[in-house]
Amino acid sequence: MKLGFGIPVLGPAVGSAHGLSAFCRGIEDLGYDSLWVADRLVAPVAPHTPYPGEQQPFPPEMTRSLDPLLLWTVAATATRRVRLNASTLNTFYYEPPHLARLLTTLDVLSEGRLEVGVGLGWMKDEHDIARSADWHQRGKILDDMLAFLQAWWTTNPVAWESPFFTLPPTHADLRPVQAGGPPIWIGGASAAAMRRVGRSGVGWLAFEGLPDDVMDAWWSIARRAAEDAGRDPDTLKTAMRINLEPNTSVDSLAAKLTRHAESGVDEAFVDAFAAFSTLDQTLDFADRLIARTGQL
């Protein structure tokens, strides 16, 4: 099982490009396989959809958020080997050509190390603020965006016509390093999301706490969707997000990672934004964790 670590997009840890560069190099030097970003545009004082599982609108560390694409850029220039991914990038923040250019640029800057985890987001407020998008059409809008990105990365000139977006024939000479563009991962917790995994993704961005029978049922949906799309369902992967709680011990997390590896998870990554307030604390924990886990 591959092992990654999250860049603290949320909270007070990141304060300079110099410090972030040192953190990213440190994670790479320790032997981790990937660096991950999250995505949060706004934290309304009185949201219509409070943070899942919380009584208050947002945990305090979520009211300070950095731009994930800029953090990706720093990570790309500071490292040479680790893959870069997101759990998840909220694509509805961006107009399609803007996102296509951003992601293609990052694939070039990272020399083909970019992967893109995408999702719909859980907060309706962000849809309303970002694009005044129809909340009930968000799945179709995401499918349209993913299809457009594939067109942008595989044709030149590129043109697009859909109910959501029109692009006349346009030159796209900036090409991704990775043939066909960066791999797309899909996040979500529904049957529709799993059908999207089967149709369009290299794998599913999973999260802890789901019962085994629910996981099995959802994977069956993804596999059927892959078969219907003419894809090999055995190639679909799982990346497990682990949100580190304060005072979690290295031993308990290492045991959890071992269980995930034994269950067949392809990659796990730790997001410690809620556990530590500085990059040095985060890197120290990452050091002790990798020493404890060894080869999973």
Average pLDDT, the chain: 93
Q: Say how many C-beta atoms besides its own lie within 10 A of residue 91's C-beta.
A: 23
pLDDT at 58: 75
* 213 compared with 282, residue with greater pLDDT: 282
pLDDT at 35: 98
pTM: 0.95
pLDDT at 186: 98
Q: What is the pLDDT of residues 183-240, one digit of tens each?
A: 999 999 899 999 999 999 999 999 998 888 888 999 999 999 999 999 999 999 999 9
Q: Say how many C-beta atoms besides its own lie within 10 A of residue 237's C-beta.
A: 18
pLDDT at 130: 81
- With bands split at pLDDT 50, 70 and 90, how would you rate the model's confidence at 53? low
